Amino acid sequence: MRKGFIISAIIAILITAALTYFVSLWWVIALGLVVFITIMGIYDMVQKKHSIMRTYPVLGRMRYWMEDLRPKLYQYFVESDIDGRPINRIDRSTIYQRAKRQNDNMPFGTPLNVYEEGYEWMSHSIAPKDFKTLDHNPRVVFGNKDCKQPYSASIFNVSAMSFGSLSSNAIEALNGGAKIGGFAHNTGEGGVSPYHLKQGGDLIWQIGTGYFGCRDDEGKFAAEVFKKNVDKPQIKMIEVKLSQGAKPGHGGILPAKKNTAEIAAIRHVEPHTTIFSPPYHSAFSTPKELINFIQQLRDLSGGKPTGFKLCIGKKSEFIGICKAMVELDIYPDFITVDGAEGGTGAAPQEFSNYVGTPLMDGLAFVHNMLVGFGIRQHIKIIASGKILSGFHLVRAIALGADTCNSARAMMMALGCIQALLCHTNKCPTGVATQNPSLVVGLDVDDKKVRVANYHADTIKTFLELTGAAGLDDYRNLTRSHIYRRVFMNESRTFEDIFPSLKPGCLVSGEIPEKYVQDMEMANADKW
């Protein structure tokens, strides 16, 4: 192929040169194109990174072009409505339709195979409740005995996404939507930026292992810096991030392309460098130290609700945290349970695919542990991890959540098309990029309304589902309301699959067999 390319290039140059000289000067355009392709081919032959291009000059480039086009072609021309990953076409379309206030009804029946293993559904009542009689603005108050500034939150809020992973316009539009709809916006671990504050929406300040926005020059937690920044009235709650479902145990990554001078100043890091948040915290190293750190942050904030976020890994470690709470009589105001199906801007595929407990398993476990230790009344539970629809809200609350967070659905309400370019700084919709020429395409005033629309219509559908279940109050949802097909001819309730615990059973000695070993391994004084 290399010899064939060289011979073909020489012949093409000679022919186009002759045509230019003897026939018309317009042939110079063709000559220029041939010369350009020839130079490209010569480069392909001398470069050493790509074997295919060295062997097949110019033609070998088609392999990389097709590789780049593959996800886009597949999404639009190949995949069915239920096959798309990570979020299928049905859910994506529903989000877009609700955000734009278009018709989101489905014609001709479900495309799902209702006899397929894993299919889930909610049991309805023969005597459903009238939607008009239900509370159309369900809210949950965060704050226990040590909290001096309780916060009333929506049951559906924006999950953690930092300025850096998202663009300035995306952050501003999300917060503007939160302001319009009366829900909360989690900052992500990148600190509180001006774009989080501009629209006036309520904020949950997330603090990760990098302590962005509350760190000293060495990257350690700085109490005085935290106290100065947490006094902002928009900050309603504080969340300590222990781990993230999409990459638990890995830490955060901000690619150098996204680490602009502005972002670096907010985070107090060197600009245009890849920023790795450590996989562990330096402010504490035991369950008891974690709980004391939560108390410290709550005190420094003037008593704002403070909690932590994690993806369940070793069950004994979470049980150790529960033991620490009981021994110290100190409780976080909330725990955010993230699932392995949660999204991220960038992570090694091994971590995204094979590390961490999925949301439903982790959520059921956390709720059971808090009930079993007799401390559930002190702590609210937030669920996050691919929560996209009203049914997902129903399912999470039935398993034990008080409220839910969503990230990717909120991104799609902004216009995200699941291009899968979040880590490249080339997001075509201006959502997950710091490229000014791409960011400008996202109009804040338009998109903030879409975010609010999506939130409102999802809450409405959630309430309609609870009414269909015959419930006056969504808080009466139980695991017995949700079914899953486990075999073609057998289905079980979530209560069967995720059995509940008796209140206080883990401290009274009535420990179920499946938890005995983890209870014995759990230690409040070490991980």
pLDDT means over runs of 10, the chain (527 residues): 90 94 92 95 90 88 79 68 79 94 89 94 97 96 97 98 93 98 96 96 96 90 95 97 88 76 84 84 97 98 98 97 98 97 83 92 98 98 97 98 97 91 88 93 96 98 98 97 95 98 96 96 96
Q: Are strands 253-254 and 275-276 parallel, antiparallel or unpaired?
A: antiparallel
Give the SS3 label for residue 262: helix
pLDDT given at position 422: 87
Helix residue spans in 373-443 (DSSP H): 390-399, 408-414, 436-439
Q: What does the domain layout of the chain look like in residue ranges?
A: 2-72, 131-521
Both tokens of 377, joined, read 């009344």
Topology, domain 131-521: TIM Barrel (3.20.20)
> Looking at residue 264, what is its pLDDT?
84
**What are residue 203's DSSP bridge partners?**
185, 235
31 three-state secondary structure: helix
Residue type, 157: N
Listed residue (414, 350, 359) closest to 382, CA to CA: 359
pLDDT attached to residue 387: 97
Residues 6+ apart with CB under 8 A from 513: none
